[in-house]
Structure 1
Amino acid sequence: MSHVPPTRDDILASATASALPPDNDTADTRLRHHFQAMAHMNRVFAIRGGEKVVLLTDPLLDRRVVDAVSGIAAARGATVREFMAPTTQLTDYPPEAAALVEDADFVMATWYASVNAPLFLRLRKERGQRWVKITYFRNLDLLDTPQGRFPPELVGEITRANAALFPRGQAFDMRFSDPRGSDVTIRFTPEMVSNMLDTNRWRGSTLAEEPGCYVHYLPAHGPNIYDREAFRREKGAVAEMEGILYPQWAIGFRDPFAEKIGIEWKDTEVVKVHGRSREADVLREMITGARLTELGCGHNPKAPRFTAYPAGPNSAGALHWGVNYAKPSSYLRRTVPNWEEPPLHQDLATFDTTVKLGNVPLIDNGFLMALRAPRVVEAARRYGDPVDLLESFVE
């Protein structure tokens, strides 16, 4: 009887077939990774001896996060006080929290108001308060993830390389396209570029060391390739913008969109939502008339590639189009009642966008071009294999 040669199906059916190494998830490896992430966390939370630390928290935050930051502060001779609000969705600070925050040197916060509340902006600008926003560190177990142990300094190098691609001293069009047919243009002036890039986040400051800094942990959320910093937050100032975007997903929707839903823009305003699906109807009611306030770009190649919740994807090259509107969304209040952001906001996600600054490619089909900048590759060599660190995405 002749031997029957194995088929592809035979190989697939075999319980021992493999051409890849086993997952090396041993206790030793987990311990090494954990301390690697802890070392990064200690540098980000650059609390100094004698400082007054204030934690602005909410009831759903993992209490171990509070204890961890309190432990870092105690080890450095700093004092810690906490103000727990009933929710993260605050659009401004509670008046009873003002005196506590005004007395702080260092603030860790979960509140949505952290970035925009006038008092907080003034304290960072005039008093040099240092802030860490932890939208993406609400559970201590996130230390034990690839993004948790990715070097924050390397995220900073990626950010600086990305900033270097922006043309200086000239006007240009920022153009967005993708395989679904999106075609959006934002017109930039030299002043807009200077204003936007002259912030600690675009300088690649991922450690809370610089006076007046506002950093994200886990690093990084954004920075934004367009936001109100382009006009130094001047009230009513918006960019010239036009076109149509076909997002792949949005906060509060269980699955990516099956229909090609079109979001039509005019000068940062959503003027029309195209589509016939239930999802299109929901978005039409929610965001028609909304304004684009932030266009966030992920800079961490180890952030989960397709995680849009809670505030848009952080994976390098993925985008979130953050819009604000006046009427709270009943849909979001039903589907994500405990969302970390208020139902006056929505983040539209795209993972495959091509972005050009004039003729300069910033993102190619969702791949952040800064990941291949020589300065970034050289910096990555200090921590391991650059290809593994920069181009092996977590999907």
Structure 2
Amino acid sequence: MIRKKVVLSLALVSLGLTMAAVAGPKGVIIVRPLGVGVSITIDGNFDDWPLNRFEQPSVQPLFPEGQDQETTDARGDYIVYDPDRVGFFNTARGVVSEDDPHLDFEVNTYFAYDAEYLYILSIFIDDEIVGYHDVSDFGSQPYLNDGLEFFFDAKNDSDDSISDIQFPNIDDVEPNVDDFQIGAGLNDLFDAVVPENQGGFGVVMGIIRSGNRDLLGSGNFGDGSFQETMNATPGPDIAARTFADLRAVGAPNVVIAENPGLTFRGYVIELRVKFGLVDGFTPDHAVGFTVFWRDVDDSSGGSIQFMDWAQSTTASGGTTLAQSITDIFYAPNWGALEFNTNNPLGGETGTVDWDLF
């Protein structure tokens, strides 16, 4: 990877600029293990998640303070969408809805793990649930529908733009071979895990980009080692369910709590990612990470809003100094997942001391 750094450094020198020292992470999400007797079934229902055991959200500074800093002190075991603390890209900042923005979009995202999987649960408030724009054979365009996407740096060693050689692909050389992007999206064309009369909704998950080309396969969600792993594991790896009244099913969200007279419609995406997908993707060290949520509010699909927890606002490859400050492909702009065993989710547990992590 030396060649990449030398080329970038020479380009900056020629412009009379110097790149700031690589820093990060831009926020930490503490991923806690499932406690004794706690197991998660991927079915789009969250009643088997011990949500009352989660302690505090990992809260970014007000935008653009987090974007302008090399690191942030965001630290917690789940994350909450806050329009004043995320980075918007693809649409203008703050263009949420012509209706009450709180009815239009909110989301809490939770994390847990066991010996085999990283589990992620997202509970969305959304007044217009969209899963009909992606008509590809295997659902390989989830970014056209409601959902979310994740970037992972398995070894947490990427200190560059992960795509400065092969944009829009992730570079297949060190240190980016273990970097990958997972996309998850609602999709009307796919069978739901649970019956539709129970709120079941079709949903897909696959590799959007990967430095490991075996993981990616042809890129159409129909092959590659990621899909092979999902096909080989027992039970579903992703599920979605819609809810006409999130309050009635106990969805934890501060907006719901603060508006007792309102009914909030929404959906859940629940998924798991198997450890060992690529070299280094194991829960014995920190993993570079960011997540951005998607909200589609236009029946034509022309208005897709992307909202990044770590406050990136561009997705151009990040090969210049100016781009690196804002770009989601620049790995130092990501946060990190930190796995620990100090405070299992469920069972006997005390109040966590966040200074210990």
Same fold (TM over 0.5): no
* Structure exhibiting the larger radius of gyration computed from Cα positions: 1
* Higher strand proportion: 2
Query: What is the TM-score with the length of structure 1 in the denominator?
Result: 0.26
Query: What is the TM-score with the length of structure 2 in the denominator?
Result: 0.28
* Higher helix proportion: 1
Q: Which has the higher contact order (CA 8 A, sep 6+)?
A: 2
